[in-house]
Amino acid sequence: MEQNQDKTELFLSLLMANQRSISSYISILVPCFEDANDILQETIAVMWKKFDQYAAGTDFAAWGVKIAYFLILHYRRDKTKKIVFFNEDLFSQINAVAEQKYGQSDEKLKALRSCIGKLDMPERHILELKYEMNNSVRSIAQRLGKSIQSTYRLFSKVHLLLHNCILRQLLEERSNI
Amino acid sequence: MKQSTRFRICELSIRSSEGSITEDETRELEQLLTGYPEAIEFYADLLMSMNLFNQRFQTQLPEIRNRQRLTEICGSKADAVPSFNPELWQAMAEYEQIAPSIKVEACQVQETPDRQERPVYSSPSHKINKVSLVTAVASLAAMLMLIAFVHLNPRRHQDPVTVLDVFDAQWSSPISTEKGSLVPVGSEPIYLSKGIASFTTSEDVEMIVEAPSEFRFPDSSRVELRFGRIYVKVPQQGLGFAVMTPSSRVVDLGTEFGVDVSSDGSSSVQVYEGQTLLASLVAGGVQEKNILDEGESEGVDGTTGHLRKTAFNSSAFVRHVNSSSKVVWRGEDIDLADLVGGGNGFGSGTRGGFIDTLTGEWHARCSIETTTNPNMAIQTNSQANPVSGSPYIDCVFIPDGENGLVAISSKGHFFDQAPNTSGTGWGGVINVRKILDRPILLNGQVYGSTAKPAIFMHANAGVTFDLNPIRGLFDDKTVCAFTADYGMAEMYPPGREPFGDFWVLVDGQVRFVQKGVKPRQGGTIQVALTEKDRFLTLITTDGGDNDQTAGEYETRYSFNDWCVFGAPKLKVK
């Protein structure tokens, strides 16, 4: 029993440290947040089920990403009648990029927090409306009295600002290493 | 990349993340990304950022660092457990073994939470999103439930494999390989020197092995095929089942597939349904890998491990075996001519065999293959004559509408559009080779061989097939259509040119009719069938041109109406 408790603790601690990376990987290949969240949960379930096969000391996130990849293939096969997916070639290319990028999640989150702090208040406000209060772009448009299209453009502008800021931040940090 | 393109990629990415992107927008995004690595990088960065925004519970919830805290959180939310899908676990194990390593940059793991850091979305009244809280708690609670599940089923992969069926099999094996016996996993290799054997695992994975083959089951989630041929069918619960060969690993992604291993270690895979992951191995390491879709076939070089596309051969593997009905099925259609010849639809019948339309009796050979005599002409008894010699044929009859409704099945179906005919037949319903030493020439092609079988039904004749026992040849396949060529045989004896009608009925309903067909005026028939259809009836009638006697034959009968159904098949899927 005590051994099982230790195993659980170990799994949880590894998961807490690496869940963000695995989640980032999934989000690149499965843009829809709800579906990505489902796949993340399934990935965690499979990782727990197979935890005995995990070699201690090896890259936990990489192991989780391999499992997630499999589940994403299954998801694409399963939903192919309901959702239009990218073609296989493009999917493979995006996957290659995702494999490179997921490990940068923590430093990216740090840069993101810093960059959000540099946004003007109205821009931060609409991010709060969407990501903190879980409003859709449509409902935000209604609240702001804007058209849906212009609200999407507004979000695009804010995300582009953040993207450029994050890039600069990461470049600065890496050049300081 | 233009700024306008970035904007558009950004907008479409936001729509994607909400699940509100349309099909056209997806295609537009696909076009914007295809061929532009920079665009793909940008797209990936955007989605990562959005995901980090969406992971607000990570930034707002207290981090869980001890079991007590975990219990505190999960205790009150144990009911909010999402349904988990425990599939693909087997596949994960196999993929983990064969997947190439992924380069990972240094990941900065936070040893202590940054409790001093200001939350991303600061506001005077700090709000915790309830949905995120429930989701996080629910996932952790579900993990605890899975702990119990795993401990209750610790030995799933060690369940023995069951011998499902054996057909003409000869073994060299230290263990019992009789039908129904259990094969312990981890045992010595099994050598099948002759015949076919099928197996099933505790997760209902079915395997059909064809001799000569040598194989073993390391556990119930995989099979090692050292050489030979195996066909695997994997249901949902067995997802991830793997076939291991000297040169490759084949991992199921929800599929039916066949694997062939040669004595030099090279292997090939064909996927009949779903998808399969194929990885070639050299010196135990993965050389190449590919995902194969339905209808694809790929070979693995035993020395170099290189993958190469190969031609898909739909009949390469035995996909169903039933020793009771002596069915060995490689995906072919059911041959109705073979059924007429007393067979099971897959070549076990007798070419030349026929059914007497007056008595329903089956005979191995019809004398009109070589000769004829007046006694061959028979007059209708106006009833459906049961065929006792075959479980697949219900009855035969000679149709004549002049005598009222024509009975066409043992369950009371009638041919209510039956025309008035001469009421005579000739020769019966035949799995034909030749007639009067003449080849059966139909629409310019020769029929009456294994490659091109045919049912000869000189007008007037009818035969009804019972689809229920035919379906019983398979466990999980359906009969979906009847197809055939039809026409008047062109090598008829000298005299009047033949002229006849062709009918196809399903449960007494006319589904195809072509009247007044002369030589070289035939065509093809395609009749769809459903699970509810029971009786398929083929009928030929004399076209109404009841004619004069010819030479010594004083009996009034339809002359030279050599009606042929060429390559009559039931399609199986």
Q: Are A41 and A118 in contact (CB under 8 A)?
A: no
Residue B135 near chain A (CB below 8 Å): yes
Provide, rounded to the nearest whole percent, the portion of chain B with pLDDT above 70. Answer: 78
Among B48, B65, B85, the residue with its CB nearest the CB of A105 is B48
Q: Do B432 and B352 form a contact (C-beta atoms < 8 A)?
A: yes
Confidence of residue B74 (pLDDT cuts 50, 70, 90): very low
Helix/strand/coil (H/E/C) assignment for every residue in B359-381: CCCEECCCHHHCCCCHHHEEECC
Q: What is the mean pLDDT of chain B?
A: 79
Stronger pLDDT, B441 or B154, i.e. the higher one: B441
Of residues B77 and B556, the one with the higher pLDDT is B556
Are the beta carbons of A62 and B102 separated by less than 8 Å? yes
> Which of chain A's residues have a Cβ under 8 Å away from the Cβ of B64?
12, 16
The per-residue pLDDT for B130 is 52
Q: Is residue B276 scored above 50 in pLDDT?
A: yes
Highest mean pLDDT out of B50-59, B405-414, B437-446: B405-414
DSSP per-residue string spanning A123-162: HHHHHIIIIIS---HHHHHHHHT--HHHHHHHHHHHHHHH
Q: What is the ipTM of this complex?
A: 0.94
What is the per-residue pLDDT for B85?
A: 33
Tell me which of B407 and B82 has the higher pLDDT.
B407
B152 in A contact zone (CB under 8 Å): no
Residue among B18, B30, B108 minimizing CB distance to A87: B30
Nearest to A134 among B99, B129, B239 (CB): B129
Q: Would you write out chain A's pLDDT as a tens digit for each of its 177 residues?
A: 556 668 888 888 899 889 999 999 999 999 998 899 899 989 999 999 889 888 888 999 999 999 999 999 999 988 887 888 999 889 999 999 999 999 988 888 888 888 888 888 888 888 888 887 778 888 888 888 888 888 998 899 899 888 888 888 887 776 654
pLDDT over threshold 90, residue B558: no
**CA B260 – CA B266 distance, rounded (Å):** 8
A90 reaches B (C-beta below 8 A) = yes
Of residues B289 and A29, the one with the higher pLDDT is A29
CB contact under 8 A, A89 and B64: no
Q: Can you tell me the distance from the alpha carbon of B96 to that of A65, in angstroms, rounded to the nearest whole number? A: 10
Residue where the block lists tokens 């070589």: B370
- CA–CA gap between residue B52 and residue B32 (Å, rounded): 24
B413's CB contacts (< 8 A; 6+ apart) are B407, B464, B505, B507, B508, B535, B537
Q: Which DSSP letter does residue A50 get?
A: T
Helix, strand or coil, per DSSP, at residue B463? strand
B559 φ/ψ angles, rounded to the nearest 5 degrees: -100, 130
Based on C-alpha coordinates, what's the Rg of chain B? 33
Residue B56: predicted pLDDT = 53
Confidence of residue B123 (pLDDT cuts 50, 70, 90): very low
Residue of chain A whose Cα is closest to the Cα of B44: A28
What residues 109-148 of chain A have any CB closer than 8 A to a CB of chain B?
109, 112-113, 116, 124, 127-128, 130-134, 136-138
Mean pLDDT confidence for B189-216: 92
- Within 10 Å of residue B4's Cβ, how many Cβ atoms? 8
pLDDT in tens, B171-182: 877 667 788 888
- Tell me the average pLDDT across B268-294: 83
| B75 pLDDT higher than 90 | no
Distance (Å, rounded) from C-alpha A35 to C-alpha A38?
5
Please spell the DSSP secondary structure of B213-271, one letter per residue. EEEEEEETTEEEEEEEEEEEE--GGGTT-EEE-SSEEEEEEEEEEEEEE-TTS-EEEEE
Cβ neighbours around A157 below 10 Å, total: 15
pLDDT digit string (tens) for B416-464? 999 999 888 888 999 999 888 888 888 888 999 988 999 999 999 999 9
Are B99 and A66 a contacting pair, CB within 8 Å?
A: yes
Residue type, B487: G
- Candidates A49, A137, A161: best to mutate against B (most CBs of B within 10 A) is A49
For B218-241, write each residue's pLDDT tens digit: 988 899 999 999 999 988 777 778
- Ranges A44-48, B34-38, B134-138, B566-570, most confident: B566-570
DSSP per-residue codes, B267-317: EEEEEEEEEEEEEEEETTEEEEEEEEETT-EEEE-TTT--EEE----TTSS
Question: What is the band of B277 on the pLDDT scale with cuts at 50, 70, 90?
Answer: confident
Q: Which of B264-268, B336-340, B517-521 has the highest mean pLDDT?
A: B336-340
Select the more confidently predicted residue: B89 or B51: B51
Residue B496 has pLDDT above 60, yes or no: yes
Q: Which helix (H) or strand (E) holds B567?
A: strand B563-572
- When pLDDT is averaged across residues B519-544 and rounded to a whole number, the result is 93
pLDDT at residue B373, rounded to an integer? 66
Q: Inform me whether the C-beta atom of residue A68 falls under 8 Å from chain B C-beta atoms.
A: no
| Chain-chain contact of B96 with A67 (C-beta, under 8 angstroms) | yes
pLDDT score for A90:
92
Residue B377 reports pLDDT greater than 60: yes
φ/ψ bin of B551: left (φ > 0), alpha (ψ from -120 to 50), beta (otherwise): left
The share of chain A scoring above pLDDT 70, in percent, equals 95
For an interface test with A, give the residue of B26, B40, B51 to mutate (most A CBs within 10 A): B51
- With beta carbons under 8 A apart, name residues in chain B contacting A105: 48, 52, 107
B18 vs A contacts (CB less than 8 Å)? 32-33, 136-137
Share of residues in chain B with pLDDT > 90 (%) = 42
Burial bucket for residue B325 (CB in 10 Å: 0-12, 13-18, 19+): middle
Measured between beta carbons, the chain A residues lying within 8 angstroms of B48 are 24, 27-28, 101-102, 104-105, 108
Quickly state the pLDDT bin for B156 (edges 50, 70, 90): low
- Contact between residue B394 and residue B410 where contact means Cβ atoms under 8 Å apart: yes
Return the percent helix, strand and coil in chain A, to nearest 5: 80, 0, 20
Quick check: helix, strand or coil at residue B489? coil
